Structure 1
Amino acid sequence: MTEHPERDEATLGAGHLVRRVRAAAGVSLRELARRIDVSAGTLSAIENGKTPLTVDRLDRIAAELGVSTVDILTASPSSVVDSRIGDRADASEGRQTWRTFAPLSLDPALEAAISTFMETGYHGATMRSIAANAGMSVAGVYHHYPSKRDLLVAILDLAMTELHWRIPAARDDGADVIERFANMVEALALFHTHRPELAFIGASEMRSLDDPDRTRIAARRMDIQHMLDNQVAAGIRAGEFTTPYPHEATRAISTMCTSLPQWFRADGLVSQQRIAVEYAQFAIDVLRGHGSPPRPHPSRTNAVVLQSN
């Protein structure tokens, strides 16, 4: 984990939160831009998610507004990301809950990068091909994203940020340990069927990252797994889950969900919601030990290997 995990969101979604804090402080966009030595156009692009926000610049903004970076990143209790993802307010208010997925509103370069990576893979893509798909000049793409790697990092952060609010929201929506875990699996399955491109790139292109981004994003992925592990452990303590192999079972359940983009089609016979509910039931059955075969004794396994040789 990073030394300051609250800063992991600094380059994704924080621009929207900066706007909220600036407005609450009664500081105009032009005045804040003057204080941090950037143009009003640059600050506007930051607040609208069109230009990445660096940690150093976030620190400067926080200092000028008289708040901490944590105050900015937690400016809205009901939302941890910007309008590209939506928020967790009640559906009755016309906003997203963990079960609803509004279309992503991405900047042209990021949207083009996703489609290009899906078509050619990360290593087969070039900034020129991404610019062509975006209908932009190469210089225009470089203005917002200094490198192809920055585009990949933004995509993976986008996926992780969405999962990091959906999974806890699903868990907290449950009335008991079984419902909480079922909701978490449902949310994980829904994400992988509603956001298959983000999920596929996240699964296939982690190898293309370098540190420190690789370590940071891997830690965020492991955080999701730990949330599932902790809920399973709570279910075992409550006597609801009886599998003798909780660690292996939870990993199998995660893999079951993350493999969905490889075969699921939204225009197929099964809806996203139905497959998510079915997967949640499969998960509960596994954790209750239904149909769990006995684990082979190591000496018997070795004997079979020796005989086969």
Structure 2
Amino acid sequence: MPAKAEVELDMEQVEGGRWRIFGANVLPPILACALEAFEEQGYHATTVRDIARRVGVTVPALYYHYENKQALLVELLMGSMGGLLERCEAAVAEAGGEPVDQFSAIVECIVLYMASRGSQGLLDSEIRSLEPENRVRYIALRDRLETTLGEIIERGVAAGDFTTEFAEESRRMVLTACNAVARWYHLDGPVSPEEMARRYVSIALGAVGYRPRSRARKKS
């Protein structure tokens, strides 16, 4: 099968609240072994021969499916970011029109994703290993998520829900904190992904200076 750079690695449907649900993340053997090798050794220290050995195929057989090692990294990164973006867009759409609800939904979604798909979240550190053209494509996807969150914060400030004076810095801080969950969170730890997401939503609302609107203000 030919490589597909924008393959969706999460195959579950995300509509109807299913963006919160994560089944087993079953990658094709070649991608699974490439991910394992990149995590253990780093992209540059990993060879195609090493990946082929882990899969149990010959190097020519691996090249039949993927043009080179870069193609494997691209498919993993684009699939991971594409999956996160799809879930976040579904979460925001289902949250309704209030900025605070949209903000809470997108933070919850990112934390759930990083807690449940930690391996692919960690791979984000290999962006530096992408060739220029591939890096541009990946960053374009990432920028869509950053722009969405930034616009939500700005609308929240305009509506009086958020009191932060530093919308851009707040956006950057919230995204950095949520993405970092992949680096330390363990599924077998004492806190579930759902509870961790709930805690991060509370923390993130504090970071943007959330101030609940009064009933009178909501009616006016």
The reply to whether TM is greater than 0.5 is: yes
TM-score (norm 1): 0.65
Q: Which residue of 1 aligns with 2:3?
A: 52
Q: Within 5 A, what are the aligned runs for 1:217-236?
A: 217-236=138-157
The one of 145, 150, 163 equivalent to 2:71 is 150
Shift of 1:238: 1.0
Give distance in 2, aligned partners of 1:83 and 1:121: 21
Q: Secondary structure at the match of 2:189?
A: coil
Residues 53 and 99 of structure 1, relative CA distance in 2, 3 Å threshold: closer
Q: Is the 8 A contact 1:81 1:87 kept in 2?
A: no
Shift of 1:211: 1.6
Q: What amino acid maps onto 2:120 in structure 1?
A: L
Q: What amino acid maps onto 1:156 in structure 2?
A: L
Q: Deviations over 1:227-248 (max 9, x none)?
A: 1001111111111011111111
TM-score (norm 2): 0.89
The one of 203, 206, 209 equivalent to 1:285 is 206
Give distance in 1, aligned partners of 2:34 and 2:74: 11
Q: Is the 8 A contact 2:108 2:201 kept in 1?
A: yes
Q: What amino acid maps onto 1:88 in structure 2?
A: V
Q: Is the 8 A contact 2:19 2:109 kept in 1?
A: yes
Residues 129 and 118 of structure 1, relative CA distance in 2, 3 Å threshold: same
Q: Within 5 A, what are the aligned runs for 1:99-248?
A: 99-175=20-96, 176-202=98-124, 204-248=125-169
Q: Secondary structure at the match of 1:205?
A: helix
Structure that is richer in helix per residue: 2
Give distance in 1, aligned partners of 2:9 and 2:36: 21
Shift of 1:83: 7.3
Q: Percent identity?
A: 31
Q: Secondary structure at the match of 2:164?
A: coil
Residues 248 and 114 of structure 1, relative CA distance in 2, 3 Å threshold: same
1:264 aligns with 2:190: no
Larger relative contact order (C-alpha < 8 A, sep ≥ 6)?
A: 2
Gaps spanning 5+ residues in structure 2: where? 212-220
Shift of 1:81: 6.4
Give distance in 2, aligned partners of 1:183 and 1:108: 33
Shift of 1:84: 4.5
Q: Which residue of 2 aligns with 1:86?
A: 12
Q: CA RMSD in A?
A: 1.9
Number of aligned residues: 210
Give distance in 2, aligned partners of 1:257 and 1:134: 32
Shift of 1:188: 0.6
Q: Is the 8 A contact 1:101 1:194 kept in 2?
A: yes
Give distance in 1, aligned partners of 2:210 and 2:15: 36
Shift of 1:289: 6.1
Q: What amino acid maps onto 2:164 in structure 1?
A: T
Residues 244 and 191 of structure 1, relative CA distance in 2, 3 Å threshold: same
Residues 53 and 276 of structure 1, relative CA distance in 2, 3 Å threshold: closer
Give distance in 2, aligned partners of 1:149 and 1:211: 11
